[in-house]
Structure 1
Amino acid sequence: MTTTAEPWQMQAPVTPFWRRMPKFFLFPAARAPMIRIAVGGLAYGIAGWVFGRNLFTSPAFGTLFLFAALLAVSVYIARYGFLVIERTAAGYLHPSQYPEFGEQGSPYRPYKMFLVMMVVPVLIGIVSAVFTSPLLMLLLFIAFAALLPASTIVMTMTDSFFEAINPARALEVARKIGKPYWALCLFLLLLMVSSQQASGLLMPKLLGQQAQPQPLAPGADLTALSGALGRAMGAAFFVAGFVGNYFFILMCALIGYVMYQYADRLGVSVVGPGEVATTGRVSSREHQRRMRDAMIGQMVAAGEIREAIDTLNDDLRDR
């Protein structure tokens, strides 16, 4: 099924991302992301329940299970988050518009991004230790946090760990976006704080006394104590996971939209309908054709005429 308008035809001006914030808050509530958010929250809750029940009897097992579950859920949600960024940047602004094909982006992006977030703090610590300057460490961590959205954008565009960890590459992305990039950083910071505040508000209001361990009668055995702790931790982990995942997908949609808004500056191929109303999803063949046409157009614009002709010839042979 095709869209009502082709993305490479004349488009209406793109709405600035700061004017679309209400729509970003609704994005995770769509069916596809909500299923993943709920599954992730449920997995967090089960992990917390198992950890709480085994804290006194088998702490090693409970800790190992909790760590494995949190890692698996983080990768699961991060993969979908990168897919949201990639699809939104390409002009598919709602999950219902996503193309009908099996390819779901690079499955290794979360691992590469986690590695970036682990390696950079270590490097900052080494540099700060060499120069024995706590102030330098603080400034470097602030710079790292400020450039993390740009690094995420680089990872989405290049799928390269070395590109994403390169501060010059991240600075280039921030420079191309301009002043709105710092507005993006501010919005992301506010969303992170809001996520924590929302979790703190929802736990007592929605879960009542289940979110906290219940006082046990004198002489209660270890099994009762473990059960109460498991229920409390399961409820707490479920709420924290559900809310955290919701805001994470929201932030991914925001980053992807910024890439879409500044696609010309960043060199992103917009092949989706954008803000044009659609009648349904596009087919796999249609999506791939649009991607090839956009790639050829970028080659021509960059003066790579020979490469564009070769790509066009390959495309014609495939057809």
Structure 2
Amino acid sequence: MPATRPASGIAPYWTRLPSFLLYPFSAEPLLVCVGLALLASFAAMMFAPLSSVLSIVVFVSLMRYGFFVLERTARGFIDDTRIVFDSAHGGKNLPYKQVAVALVGGTLCAIAGALGGPNAAWLSLGLLAMLWPANTMVLALDNDLGESLNPARLWEIASRIGVPYLGLCACLLLIFFSGNFLQGFLANAAPHALIVPLASFASCLSTIAMFRMMGYVLYQYHEELGHDVRIGFEEQSGFKAADPRAARASRIAELLGEGRGEEALKEARDAVREAPADFEAQARLHRLLGALPGHEKALADHARLWLPALLGARRGSQALEVFEAVRERDPGFLPANADDRLPLAEAAFKAHHYDAVKSLIKNFDRLFPGHRDIPSIYLLGAQLLLEQGRDEEQAERILKALQSHYPQHPVALEAAKLLELAARLRSVG
């Protein structure tokens, strides 16, 4: 059956299943698989404590690389394999968070089994297995353990993808069992000395293929999910000529390749002027202004105009990337509008970029007296003190002041919750 291309301009994931299976054999993933297989073999030859430590290192490294693959694919990098050093939030803790999720799931299955017997336990296991892709996607997008355990968030991912989500579960199950079958076959057919390295290699291949597939699904449905990408559908190779915007993107790339940066910049500015609501054109202009020397002021001016649109479209993570890219050139840069500071600071807090949070909320009440966001800014400041500074005493003062001055404001309820948290932290500290 020939592959079809939907109106979005990207081939559906089910037509690209062979490419996901072949992806681990490309240069970088293959080196990772070989390296981890050799390390697993070395671990198998060691005495018990060291063997366990090395096995954990292999598992964490594989999962971390899998999340890197998922994230970069989800951002639109379909045709390259530069993964390790280009993660938006780093993903360093994601393997541990996924282990925590697995422990929670195992506990729930055990409880179901204790209350309803083996059938209830198996039913719970099946339901949790169907939620695993959504859970993994939420971890990769948000880097937030709580959100990955939130049934409403998981349902949001699955329902926005729709029926194809069930197909994704089936494909992932197929890859998983294929990997297990290959491991079993190698255990029976390979020489004894090669069983561990070959089985580990097969496990790495199937794991990376699954993460690649999930990343591609996130990319295919990024508009439905409100997920920011770096390379849009029309910019992907193979169908650039079908879209005038893609033709212009190709033209800009050609000009850059020829070293004609200023002409490329003019083309990018023309594209934004003709379609100011085209976020991909805006992102292209932003990247060009940041890459070409001598355009620091233009970069800041463009960011001040573009940030409100990004925040209004709930693209907080992309707005944060824009903000921090400008701050690298101009440490004093801040959004022009007071209304933009709170949502941008919240995006920075969610991404654990605490220095950005501090710069956005510092002296907000003095700069914008009477602004409606002042209570929420104070609340965010207290959260920052608790999470990063571990200054429970100062946080408590701010939270009590919020309760006193804004008793009817929604922040009063959040302040009460944080006061309880601060008290617990003080008791254990």
| Matched residue SS, 2:45 | helix
Report what 1:162 is aligned to.
Answer: 146
1:135 maps onto 2:94 in alignment: no
CA contact (8 A) 1:296 1:312 kept: no
By relative contact order (CA 8 Å, sep 6+), the higher-ranking structure is 1
8 Å CA contact retained: 1:270, 1:294: no
Q: Aligned pairs, how many?
A: 267
Stretches of structure 1 lacking an aligned partner (at least 5 in a row): 1-10, 51-61, 212-231
Aligned to 2:14: 18
Per the alignment, residue 217 of structure 1 pairs with none
Mapping for residues 1-319 of structure 1, pairs under 5 Å: 13-50=9-46, 62-96=47-81, 105-129=90-114, 131-205=115-189, 207=190, 210-211=191-192, 232=193, 235-272=194-231, 275-276=236-237, 286=287, 297-302=309-314, 318=329
Larger radius of gyration between Structure 1 and Structure 2:
2
TM-score, structure 1 as length reference? 0.72
CA deviation after TM superposition for structure 1 residue 240, in Å: 1.0
Residues 88 and 253, structure 1, Cα contact 8 Å, conserved in 2: yes
In structure 2, relative to structure 1, the CA distance for the partners of 1:122 and 1:314 (3 Å cut) is closer
Report if the CA contact (8 A) 2:74-2:229 is conserved. yes
Offset, 1:84: 0.5
* TM-superposed deviation, 1:295: 7.5
- Show CA shifts across 1:139-186 (max 9, x none): 211110110010000111111111112222212211110000000000
8 Å contact 1:99–1:287 — kept in the other structure? no
1:229-286 Cα distance to aligned partner (Å, 9 max, x none): xxx4xx2211111010011001100000000000011111111366326989xxxx94
Shift of 1:298: 4.3
2: distance between equivalents of 1:165 and 1:35?
33
Once the two structures are TM-superposed, the CA of residue 308 in structure 1 deviates from its matched residue by 10
Contact 1:28 1:34 in 2 (8 A): yes
Task: Give the alignment's TM-score, normalised by structure 2.
Answer: 0.55
Structure 2 alignment gaps of length 5 or more? 1-6, 239-249, 257-285, 292-302, 331-429
Is 1:32–1:95's contact at 8 Å kept on the other side of the alignment?
no
Distance 1:102 1:255, change over 3 A: closer
